[in-house]
Amino acid sequence: MAKLNYNSAGTRIKKLVKINQLFSSFPGKILSMIFWLVGFFSVASLSLTLISTSFDFPLGWSLILLVIFLIFLALRAFFRFFVQNPEILSPMEIKEKAKKKEDIKYFDCLSVAAASALMSVSSDIEEVDICSVFISLVKSPASNFIFNRIGVAKEDVLEKIATVTGAGAVRFSQVAERSIEIAILENHNKVEVGDILVAISELDPDLTSFISEKNLDSNDLANIVYWQTSLEKKIEKGKKILDPSDLHLSGGIGRDWAFGYTLDLNQFSTDLTEEVNRFGLGLEIIGHERETTLLEQALNRVEGANAILVGEPGIGKKTIVLGLAKKLNDGKASGSIYHKHIRELNVDLLISGLSGPGEFTERLTRVFSQAANAGNIIIFIDGLEKLLSSGEAGQIDASAVLSPYLAYPEINFICTMNAADYNSLIPNSPIISQKMERIEVSEPNGSEMIRILEDMVLKVENHFKILVTYSAIKEVAKLANKYLLDQPNPEKSISL
């Protein structure tokens, strides 16, 4: 990486830090309170002037005070927007500029919180003592979440730093470069306080010995930082009334229009894409990037654009489908499926109340035919084995109905099965084997499992009114692997 400039002078983030400090300072809070009182008085006096003849405060003064209050609100919103949403370079952009040997400043990719913590040490931090930087990061409010989840008090950490010998030998330039790499790996739009802490923990373990004392390491610290940033993203997204990145405009005005009569399709299936849009997806889709990419590629093939996810129950097959539904809803899916909806077939409802096999065939044919005529449907069958026969008399077998539609370009299919059912049933249906790409679904790795549990902890904390530390989450994953041997992850860790 090219040499970075570590001076904050002339950077936009420095101005934003100053604005943030102005609003956060005691005089700033007093001034803000005065303007709020002016606003309250102006609205009250204006209302009384209009509804009461006995109230004689001049109407003109009420209007002047109201205008002053509105100007204050506009300025406050303007400055806060730029503080919370600074137009800074992303870590990836910094890396690209470094490759081109362009002049770049480290402060240009920092969050306001990270820049504020570093600027409190010095405006030029290239040669500063790494211990001073670490102390400033510990004191930053942005690191409160991290230390709470580690389960250690900041005061204890600061006391311990004074007694640690041999720490602080690492140059800050090394920490800065590593923090940019970490931010890129974690897909952060800017370098956060947590990214710098993770970099220090990797490069100077003596300085962060309090982590090892909790039987944690830098990877665990990175998981905690991920936990923090994912929660912040959810909170920030909830505050945005109009998010340009979430307008669902891909595909044009009529991308959701279906063509034809879809009464049976609507009766026997649920629109997962619409469910995601209506209720949101409470859990983040963590892991399974490989399977999701393979699924999207399979559905975009010219012929046989169908897929079957094979894996044990509880391994996350439906989660992969929900992840794709979310991408479709957000307009971020690629290729020919970007405008489509995923509808989950209700197999139990489909086979209920049948008078005979012939009625089932007619019912299923109508559903598939309507989906094909609509032209924007991906049928999801969770548990394809329910519709396939092993050859025994009296069993329902949908392979004869399903097989022709697998070749239709107007309709796609996603199915799920476990390995045993796939190996026993699919060889009897060669067309299904040829027209549906098999995608093996594997368990999430250790780090992914931790992050899945992190995403679920907030509900547990709200329900039981407790604080769950990172060590507790890590122990849950460990015990699940030790004692629940007959279940796959993530099901067994979530169950425990």
Residue-wise pLDDT tens digits, 288-324: 888 999 999 999 998 889 999 999 998 889 989 998 9
* Separation of first and last alpha carbons in the chain: 45
Assess contact for 333 and 414: CB atoms under 8 A.
Answer: no
Average pLDDT over residues 234-253: 55
Query: How far is CA 274 from each of CA 327, 341, 353, 371, rounded to the nearest angstrom?
Result: 12, 8, 28, 16
Average pLDDT over residues 329-346: 89
Count of positions (residues) in the chain: 496
| Higher per-residue pLDDT: 275 or 291 | 291
Least confident span in 84-98, 210-224, 305-319, 321-335:
84-98
Average pLDDT over residues 139-157: 93
User: Is the pLDDT confidence value at 81 over 70?
Assistant: no
Average pLDDT over residues 203-214: 86
pLDDT tens readout for residues 344-391 = 999 889 888 777 768 888 999 999 999 999 989 999 999 999 888 655
The single-letter code of the amino acid at 42 is S
Give the pLDDT of residue 82.
Answer: 63
State the Cα angle at 77 between 71 and 79, rounded to 5°.
100
User: Is the pLDDT confidence value at 281 over 60?
Assistant: no
Least confident span in 10-19, 266-275, 296-305, 433-442:
10-19
Query: How far is CA 85 from each of CA 88, 112, 145, 189, 328, rounded to the nearest angstrom?
Result: 9, 9, 21, 11, 26
State the Cα angle at 214 between 213 and 220, rounded to 5°.
120
> Predicted confidence band at 14 (pLDDT cuts at 50, 70, 90)?
confident
Q: Which helix (H) or strand (E) holds 417?
A: strand 411-417
CA distance 316 to 294: 15
| Higher per-residue pLDDT: 145 or 27 | 145
